[in-house]
Amino acid sequence: MRIMHTADWHIGKRLNAFDLQDDQAAVFERLVKVAQEQQVDAIMIAGDLYDRALPNETAVTMVNGMLHRLNRELGYPLLVISGNHDSAVRLGTGREWYDATQLYLNTELAQAFTPVELGDVQFFLLPYFEPVAARLYFHDDSLTNINKAMHRVAAALEEKFDPAKKHVLIAHFFAAGSKHSESETLVNVGGLDAVSVDDLQAFDYVALGHLHNRKALNEPKVQYSGSLLKYSVSEVTQEKGVYILDTDTMNRHFISLAPLHEVQQLTGSFKEFSDSDHFSAAERDAYTAITLTDVEVIPNVMASLRQVFPRIIELKREQHVQLETATQTNVKLGPMPLLADFYQQVTGSELTPEQETWAKAALAEASRSELGQE
């Protein structure tokens, strides 16, 4: 069988002031096209269908519509779990009716222990859960963190294994590298909130959601699909799309989905950004985080930049960035050296002797005033 693996739709998400409804609708179209071109037999959606536990009605309409289209109109079996951004209760509405058309939706831990069988594969749909849910389910107070809880859950899932079948886990958590490999830092440092991939080795494939970077793990059988779109500036370099899993070989390949608008980060001078000829239409249309190299005050800077880039999601000065780092090391300096340092970082020049005299006088006056010696 060929199974599509997608996750982290985050329908309803805004990118700063911008509603991503059109972008999400467009990438839904592309996802449908890929499913058809790749002739997939089913689709796994590994959590965070919604961006918020209380999605607005537009988001509800979009998710309901997409699930209906994939399952009822196009006939794909769907294997769906809730993520930490979803409300298990709200997303779970109607689940008892859905499996009649092979829409399998799990939103509670207890539901994970009944696998869904398609062809020669057992699919285990493990929704996002808190350690307390595992403590209650197993009556075991020792499951104080997700790593311990998942160790126990994995063992319980393995008990349901049909040895004649293959075993795929669909889950939504922060998985970190093996304790026995180079990447152990993540488990040990990131600590108790991460699940070790060691506990997932019994499965032939683990289709994960949660981390938006599909390359967050480098494991032979454990894979994040990554999010459907770039949902923050930190994701600008990440390719977004879906995985196609061949369950005969458990090989997978990634298919990227072109977004309606890119998300990009640009650094340059106000002059460069003001010249629309410097940029392609696609670049100008992108959700853009701009870092200005200019030092001087620019009147109406945002309004001016929006003439060229209507979708600015962030505007920073390069100097401010340096300043933020620099001040970390300067906390022990007195007011005058700090002021001189600040001036130098913001303007790139030293204080003149005359400016230094003025500044010292002002600081002395402020100090007297503060001590009530006026």
Q: Which residues bind a copy of itself (CB under 8 A)?
A: 54, 57, 60-61, 64, 68, 72, 87, 89-90, 92-94, 96-98, 100-101, 103
Nearest approach in angstroms of CB 58 to a copy of itself is 8
**In this complex, which beta carbon is closest to a copy of itself, that of residue 109 or of residue 308?**
109
**In this complex, which beta carbon is closest to a copy of itself, that of residue 55 or of residue 259?**
55
Nearest approach in angstroms of CB 91 to a copy of itself is 9
**In this complex, which beta carbon is closest to a copy of itself, that of residue 75 or of residue 353?**
75
Nearest approach in angstroms of CB 77 to a copy of itself is 14
How do 241-246 and 251-256 pair as beta strands? antiparallel
**In this complex, which beta carbon is closest to a copy of itself, that of residue 72 or of residue 368?**
72
**In this complex, which beta carbon is closest to a copy of itself, that of residue 2 or of residue 95?**
95
**Token pair in block for residue 340:** 């001189």
Q: Are 238 and 214 in contact (CB under 8 A)?
A: yes
Nearest approach in angstroms of CB 55 to a copy of itself is 9
Nearest approach in angstroms of CB 63 to a copy of itself is 9
The residues with which 251 forms a beta bridge, in sequence order, are 246
Nearest approach in angstroms of CB 237 to a copy of itself is 36
**In this complex, which beta carbon is closest to a copy of itself, that of residue 73 or of residue 117?**
73
**In this complex, which beta carbon is closest to a copy of itself, that of residue 96 or of residue 182?**
96
Nearest approach in angstroms of CB 39 to a copy of itself is 25
**In this complex, which beta carbon is closest to a copy of itself, that of residue 17 or of residue 100?**
100
Nearest approach in angstroms of CB 6 to a copy of itself is 20
**In this complex, which beta carbon is closest to a copy of itself, that of residue 67 or of residue 217?**
67
**In this complex, which beta carbon is closest to a copy of itself, that of residue 92 or of residue 127?**
92
The letter for the amino acid at 90 is R
**Token pair in block for residue 99:** 């499996």
Q: Which residues neighbour 54 within 8 Å (Cβ) at sequence distance 6 or greater?
A: 87, 90
Q: Which residues neighbour 358 within 8 Å (Cβ) at sequence distance 6 or greater?
A: none
Q: Are 46 and 242 in contact (CB under 8 A)?
A: no
Q: Are 233 and 289 in contact (CB under 8 A)?
A: yes
Nearest approach in angstroms of CB 101 to a copy of itself is 7
3-state SS, one letter per residue, for the chain? CEEEEECCCCECCEECCEECHHHHHHHHHHHHHHHHHCCCCEEEEECCCECCCCCCHHHHHHHHHHHHHHHHHCCCCEEEECCCCCCHHHHCCCHHHHHHHCEEEECCHHHHHCCEEECCEEEEECCCCCHHHHHHHHCCCCCCCHHHHHHHHHHHHHCCCCCCCEEEEEEECCEECCCCCCCHHHHHHHHHHCEEHHHHCCCCEEEEECCCCCCCCCCCCEEECCCCCCCCHHHCCCCCEEEEEECCCCEEEEEECCCCCCEEEEEECHHHHHCHHHCCHHHHHCEEEEEECCCCCCCCHHHHHHHHCCCEEEEEEHHHHHHHHHHCCCCCCCHHHHHHHHHHHHHCCCCCHHHHHHHHHHHHHHHHHHCCCC
Nearest approach in angstroms of CB 103 to a copy of itself is 7
**Token pair in block for residue 129:** 């859960």
